[in-house]
Structure 1
Amino acid sequence: MSNANSSSIDASEDVAVKAVNKRYEGLVTVRTKAVKGKGAWYWAHLEPILIRNPETNMPKAVKLKCTLCDAAFSASNPSRTASEHLKRGTCPNFSLMLKPISQLPPLASPSSQQNHRKRSSQSQQAVGTSSNVYPISMVDSSRFRNETSFPPAQTLQAPGVTLKPLVLSGGKEDLGPLALLENSVKKLKSPKASPNPTLSKDQVNTAFNFLADWFYESCGSVSLSSLEHPKFQAFLNQVGLPALSKREFSSARLDSKFEEARIESEARIRDAAFFQVASDGWKSKNSTSASQCLVNFMVNLPNGTRVFQKVVYSAGGSMPSQYAEEVLSETIQGICGNDAQRCVGIVADKFKAKALRNLELQNHWMVNFSCQVQGFFSLIKDFYRELPLFRSVSDNCLKIAYLINSTPHIRNSFHKFRLQGLDFAGYIRVPPPKCDISKNLAPFIAMLDDLISCSRILHLIVLDDSYKVVCLADITARECADMIQDVGFWNDVEAAHSLVKMIMGMAEDIEAERPLVGQCIPLWEELRAKVKDWCTKYNFAEGPVERIVERRFKKNYHPAWSAAFVLDPLYLVRDASGKYLPPFKCLTHEQEKDVDKLVTRLVSKEEAHIALMELMKWRSEGLDPLYAQAVQVKQRDPVTGKMKIANPQSSRLVWETCLKEFKSLGKVAVRLLFLHATSCGIKCNWSFTRWFCGQGHSRSGLERAQKLVFVAAHAKLERRDFSSAEEKDAELFGTMSVSLLLRVQESGVESIGRIKDPLLRENTIWPSLNQLAGEDSWCVDRKPILVCSYISESEIDH
């Protein structure tokens, strides 16, 4: 019997503890919301606390603690507690803000004071005997506390006198100046020190140095004129800093930052035995955009770091190969002077067949090849031009998109389904009329995105009565209905979309990870495997697809790919005897010959036969198993979650330390293995490139712009931040804002156009589509406007 009683007591205690915890958690939730502005005012001063039993340490009650005086109260009625403790003046540390004069009720008459002495006992303590004069201190000066440092004055009131509301000639707008007048009088009576903090000269210089670093590293997101904005100047004054001029940030301070960055960059290049030049921006992704008029020059060092060299303003348009060759030669000479052999090679996004090839023939020690990212982009264009699937999908999708966008009855059906809670784009994006999709695939991919996203809606629309009415008079509507209800059509759309997405995904990874030249052969093998799987999945013949891939591979291929692949210890394969040997079996017979030719070209004629003998020895003996395993150790990347090589420099370091017996072949290996396969550089903002465009032919202006670019790029490389501010903002907001802003250019002045339909979405396009995107010029009110090519003309608000 006693056991039953004890168990019932324990159960009741558990119920009580759960109730106390639930009450406490509920009050904490309410207070959290209130602190964020979604609840009663008193929660800023009342805090729930949990009272525990000192013997069992179990919660036994919930109390409310006043954060001003630490008094504790029952939590049963927080509103009543606030009224009694805070409003009625029980808390000694709480004081309510005075209301404006227009909101103050008239004081009670003497007779009413006699009936309510308890409530008005405090209000009867006053000074002065004036019956009709309102003192200035009746105004709530606390509302203007940001402009003065004095607390609100106490209200003066004559006992037994009813004060009438003050009427000022300027109305309620006079209350502000009246409060300022009162504070001015008090300031003259008892002057105080300035509320602004006083900083030492060293503190001011340190603060401005940090501000300058932020400004330069913003890479053009903040304009020079913003430094003289009144609000920004007010902020500087508030924190105790002197006024700032944009001239200071564009002259002496800029020169100092530039010299500091230049000296550090040159020191890093001098410390390296050799380097590679990476040049990005030659291949105009957008011939009419100023953001594509800058050609970046970077220096890749053997230790894996990159150093910014310079930016060349190309003024837009396509540049001849001879000009690019001259600029590249001048850049190399400017870096290493007469010791040109320190430049191992060049990687660029264009001019592989001419400029890069000519420089390689003129300098036998150079290895020049094109960027892998551009090769993958070009492959997508090859598929569109040569694979019939893409042509048929493009024509059919255009037919459906034009019908949906241009027929009012069908548009009304779209809106009807939208009211039912279905989410989709307001319009189906279509390429502009003069857009060549074979050269600019971004509009085509955007159209596929929209059609796939609203496929369910399209099936409902063709079954709607309004669509059937349209079909009676429009043969195109009937054809579109047949296509929408055809499973084969959607399979083709999905197949084209999947193939593009797959290649774009690989291109994004290449751009982000920046592989070395030894990884090119494995990358293309991975691509071939994925394309083969795609053919199997969508039941396409492998022959035509593989021929397109192979043709693009040969256009991009360089013998250095094969040589670096077999010389890199990272790709050594263990055989049956336990040796780690180079993967010559993965190369074709022609590629093996390319390795021999490249090795003999990169050494002197006297060393050529020695290098070939060492290559044969490397092929048969390979590397010590212990060192080979150490080179191939992988670890998980904490950011991406992928397995990556733990020490990428180990491949080169093994040749410089453990394989010293390969004297001639080792020289070739260490100069090949660090070469980068991509030319992707620093991504600049629109405002950043506008600095160059606005300078015209001003030499001093271009010099300042060059210095700004150099300092910003140097800082980005220090932080290993290769993205632009626009990309970060896109990640923050996720989708396009309600009104898409378009940049308009007229005489160098920007204005803004707006998209009429706020439902256009950008998140359906992968970020790397910017590499494919072009822009077309339209006119709005006779003003040339540059808009993204996948926005149709009907969506521009004229």
Structure 2
Amino acid sequence: MSTTNTPTAAQPQQQQTPPPPPEITTEELTAKALNKRYEGLTTVRNKAVKGKGAWYWTHLEPTLVRNTDTGLPKAVKLRCSLCDAVFSASNPSRTASEHLKRGTCPNFTSSVAPPVSAVSPSSSSSPSHHRKRQSSGAVPSRLNPPPSYHVTPITVVDPSRFCGGELPYSAPPPPRLMLSGGKDDLGPLAMLEDSVKKLKSPKPSHALTLTRSEIESALDSLSDWVFESCGSVSLSGLEHPKFRSFLTQVGLPIVSKRDFATTRLELKYEEARAVSESRILDAMFLQIASDGWRESLVSLVVNLPNGTSVYRRAVLVNGAVPANYAEEVLLETVKGICGNSPQRCVGIVSDKFNNKALKSLESQHQWMVNLSCQHQELKSLIKDFIKELPLFKSVSQNCTRLGNFINNTAEIRNAHRKYQMQEHGESIMLRLPLHCKACVFEPLFNLLEDVLSSARAIHSVMHDDACKAVLMEDHTAREVREMVGDQGFWNEVEAVHALTKLVKEMARRIEEEKLLVGQCLPLWDELRAKVKDWDSKFNVGEGHVEKLVERRFKKSYHPAWAAAFILDPLYLIRDSSGKYLPPFKCLSPEQEKDVDKLITRLVSRDEAHIALMELMKWSTEGLDPMYARAVQMKERDPVTGKMRIANPQSSRLVWETYLSEFRSLGKVAVRLIFLHATTCGFKCNSSLLKWVSSHGRSHAAMDRAQKMIFISANSKFERRDFSNEEDRDAELLAMANGDENLLNDVLVDTS
């Protein structure tokens, strides 16, 4: 049974496909970028000529240089209108300093020069430049003192010039100034002059003044940002001098970290708790998701039928936790939410205790459907491969041996770096696990990635003349050379890497898409098909991989998978008569029996026979074609570009409205369809986890941490933002330098 059985809407009439757009060449793309840059420079110059930009644009003109053969632009230059010299347009400000201010241009005189403050750090006649010219010649001594300058007190500094402003061209150049403290004295001197001017002619302050409500609103937004960042923003950082200076400049009062950690935290927590409690009370039933049992902080989340989630609380755990403790925590959470109506909790999904605790709770409460997290099951499947497949063990050992040989042998390491630089423009050492037994999951995958990406460099090293002596003298080196030269070794490395990546990608996808229980059977069928294709491509599995997949499937399988797959209108299949019927033919005989057993368990004894009769009616009549097509309607995701279900809630809503005649079966359907099959959701950042681990025994500290996590998690759930700030920061810092043109445009526009 594969996802190809999923029905689609009626086929639209065939339309003539438009011809593909003409392919754009690299030269045309370059010409387009150059035209854009030329237009940007021209716009900036036009504004500057009107007095709304830097002075030097009066003398610098953008020029578009074209290719004599093609006529396309090939470069953007700056031409000096005074001497017709041509320069690069990458940094107009620097061109002006080098060509105009330093006297390189023969036609640039003081009559056209910009006014230069005596204390301007950028001035060519500043004290710093004067000292640089002295350093190139004889060192001044007491016998040859530097020339003195006569300076009128107080009137030597214009604060507006010090802040980057420009004076009219007609202003006479001020006298030079020598200060005992160097250019660091310029700021204090400007402040002194400003103070004297205020005393001479006091004027009303033009500082930004905010009303009390505006101030409170701004501080409220600030507290939202601090708490929703959940540890990424330090509370102590609120008292940083630079941050305090910023608050003062924008007209806000100085904030207290103690106020944020007490009064404002309590206020935000109470607001978030009131909203979450209202949402939980408004839902007829719910599911508990328990994530983090493999870590130090367990998150307990409430999944609601409308597709939203609400964070409940966090539990601090230290070391290994017994299954009965997990059962206590889960049962306590259910009672705390549902009170005297435990039937409202129709299921639990957990990431570790899926054998004892989940089955025990399900046997005690027959209305519950308790599932194991499929994201963790796929990660466990990779661990099964590493532990039990001879292929993974041999590849792990061979790659570790290869990595140790390259990283630990100086001649080989240097040659490897050289060929990496030629191949990729950078050199890295192969990422080896801390020890051989640590070759599990990520460490092994990272090593395989490095080996495959360095394959050409490794081959070149083995044939490098400078390495021949090392490769011939040492027995281990000869074995490594023979291994690298064997194509079978590379085929096995690629096979292990491809299989691991295949399962990792599926795990990442179900984490992003928030896998539901009805999607579990299609997911594992898709995995089987991909593993079969992998085996036929590399021919190294010998059937062992398929056996491990089946074993993991049976271990994580729950009868609710089959029941939800049959009852969800999303998977109805259109037959030859035009009816949309449930896909019973995709189930095995055992799975069909599981559907009957689960439905009868989830209803009362009096309703069991009625529910089975309604199931037979559902299997023969199905759903009205118009409603079925409406449920299965898809749209393109504007972010990923993939097709997705337009309204995921339709599957449940159609049972509660149009299919209301199925009274007993409908109760089961609406409860099964919304159930999540993965616990993925809110992730605490490492700084907060570290802080909680070090202060876990402090009641006050844990109470505040709980409240911060609660505020942050519910804010992320409300925004449907399940990413981690640390991961986003890593992606931002790892961005390639492909945005140089954009950066240059910004620099030009602000010059």
Matched, 1:409 2:420: no
Q: What is the 5 A alignment of 1:458-607? A: 458-540=458-540, 543-607=543-607
1:414-466, CA deviations, whole angstroms, 9 ceiling, x for partnerless residues?
233245464454211111126443xx321111110110010001111111123
Matched residue, 2:153: 136
Matched residue, 1:230: 241
Query: Which of 367, 370, 380 matches 1:368?
Result: 370
Matched residue, 2:306: 303
1:136/1:179 contact within 8 Å kept: no
2:423/2:457 contact within 8 Å kept: no
SS for the counterpart of 1:311 is strand
SS for the counterpart of 1:99 is coil
Query: Which of 192, 208, 232 matches 1:181?
Result: 192
Q: Which amino acid aligns with 1:100?
A: V
2:119/2:162 contact within 8 Å kept: no
In structure 1, how many angstroms separate the alpha carbons of the residues matched to 2:34 and 2:288?
A: 67
C-alpha distance 45-245 of structure 1, shift in aligned 2 (>3 A): farther
Q: Which amino acid aligns with 1:226?
A: G
C-alpha distance 207-85 of structure 1, shift in aligned 2 (>3 A): farther
Q: What is the 5 A alignment of 1:658-737? A: 658-734=658-734
Q: Which amino acid aligns with 2:393?
A: R
C-alpha distance 435-227 of structure 1, shift in aligned 2 (>3 A): farther
SS for the counterpart of 2:242 is helix
Q: Which amino acid aligns with 1:360?
A: E
Matched residue, 2:29: none
In structure 1, how many angstroms separate the alpha carbons of the residues matched to 2:417 and 2:489?
A: 25
Matched residue, 1:356: 358
Matched, 1:396 2:391: no
Matched residue, 1:339: 341
1:145/1:151 contact within 8 Å kept: no
The offset of 1:598, in angstroms, is 0.5
The offset of 1:138, in angstroms, is 5.1
1:603/1:664 contact within 8 Å kept: yes
In structure 2, how many angstroms separate the alpha carbons of the residues matched to 1:103 and 1:630?
A: 73
C-alpha distance 168-229 of structure 1, shift in aligned 2 (>3 A): closer
Matched, 1:200 2:211: yes
2:155/2:193 contact within 8 Å kept: no
Query: Which of 118, 121, 129 matches 1:99?
Result: 118
SS for the counterpart of 1:432 is coil
In structure 1, how many angstroms separate the alpha carbons of the residues matched to 2:37 and 2:572?
A: 63
SS for the counterpart of 1:198 is coil
1:283-342, CA deviations, whole angstroms, 9 ceiling, x for partnerless residues?
x2xxxxxxx31111111111111111111111x312111111111011111111110000
Q: What is the 5 A alignment of 1:324-335? A: 324-335=326-337
In structure 1, how many angstroms separate the alpha carbons of the residues matched to 2:59 and 2:657?
A: 69
The offset of 1:24, in angstroms, is 9.2
Q: What is the 5 A alignment of 1:627-642? A: 627-642=627-642
In structure 1, how many angstroms separate the alpha carbons of the residues matched to 2:45 and 2:229?
A: 37
SS for the counterpart of 2:543 is helix
1:683/1:722 contact within 8 Å kept: yes
C-alpha distance 41-616 of structure 1, shift in aligned 2 (>3 A): same
Query: Which of 204, 218, 222 matches 1:211?
Result: 222
C-alpha distance 212-170 of structure 1, shift in aligned 2 (>3 A): closer
C-alpha distance 515-408 of structure 1, shift in aligned 2 (>3 A): same
The offset of 1:659, in angstroms, is 1.4
C-alpha distance 268-88 of structure 1, shift in aligned 2 (>3 A): same
In structure 2, how many angstroms separate the alpha carbons of the residues matched to 1:300 and 1:393?
A: 42
In structure 1, how many angstroms separate the alpha carbons of the residues matched to 2:181 and 2:632?
A: 81
What RMSD, in angstroms, separates the aligned Cα atoms of the two structures?
Answer: 3.6
The offset of 1:629, in angstroms, is 1.5
SS for the counterpart of 1:452 is helix
Q: What is the 5 A alignment of 1:140-289? A: 140-142=157-159, 145=162, 170=181, 174-282=185-293, 284=294
In structure 2, how many angstroms separate the alpha carbons of the residues matched to 1:281 and 1:545?
A: 28
The offset of 1:545, in angstroms, is 2.1
- Which sits farther off after the overlay, 532-541 or 238-247? 532-541
The offset of 1:562, in angstroms, is 0.5
C-alpha distance 195-146 of structure 1, shift in aligned 2 (>3 A): farther
Q: Which amino acid aligns with 1:198?
A: T
The offset of 1:633, in angstroms, is 1.1
1:144/1:179 contact within 8 Å kept: no
C-alpha distance 293-43 of structure 1, shift in aligned 2 (>3 A): farther
Matched residue, 1:755: none
Q: Which amino acid aligns with 1:654?
A: V
In structure 1, how many angstroms separate the alpha carbons of the residues matched to 2:237 and 2:126?
A: 47
Q: Which amino acid aligns with 2:552?
A: R
- Which sits farther off after the overlay, 555-564 or 184-193? 184-193
The offset of 1:641, in angstroms, is 1.3
1:376/1:503 contact within 8 Å kept: yes
In structure 2, how many angstroms separate the alpha carbons of the residues matched to 1:545 and 1:322?
A: 33
C-alpha distance 27-428 of structure 1, shift in aligned 2 (>3 A): closer
Query: Which of 298, 305, 313 matches 2:316?
Result: 313
Matched residue, 1:293: 296
The offset of 1:178, in angstroms, is 3.9
Q: Which amino acid aligns with 1:335?
A: I
In structure 2, how many angstroms separate the alpha carbons of the residues matched to 1:419 and 1:535?
A: 35
> Which structure has the bigger radius of gyration?
1
2:327/2:358 contact within 8 Å kept: yes
1:721-777, CA deviations, whole angstroms, 9 ceiling, x for partnerless residues?
11111111122122799xxxxxxxxxxxxxxxxxxxxxxxxxxxxxxxxxxxxxxxx
In structure 2, how many angstroms separate the alpha carbons of the residues matched to 1:76 and 1:142?
A: 36
C-alpha distance 736-221 of structure 1, shift in aligned 2 (>3 A): farther
Q: Percent identity?
A: 54
In structure 2, how many angstroms separate the alpha carbons of the residues matched to 1:385 and 1:49?
A: 65
In structure 2, how many angstroms separate the alpha carbons of the residues matched to 1:171 and 1:573?
A: 82
The offset of 1:258, in angstroms, is 0.8
Q: Which amino acid aligns with 1:416?
A: K
2:117/2:161 contact within 8 Å kept: no
Identify unmatched segments of 5+ residues in structure 1: 1-20, 51-72, 107-130, 158-162, 285-291, 738-798
In structure 2, how many angstroms separate the alpha carbons of the residues matched to 1:629 and 1:23?
A: 50
The offset of 1:280, in angstroms, is 0.5
2:83/2:107 contact within 8 Å kept: no
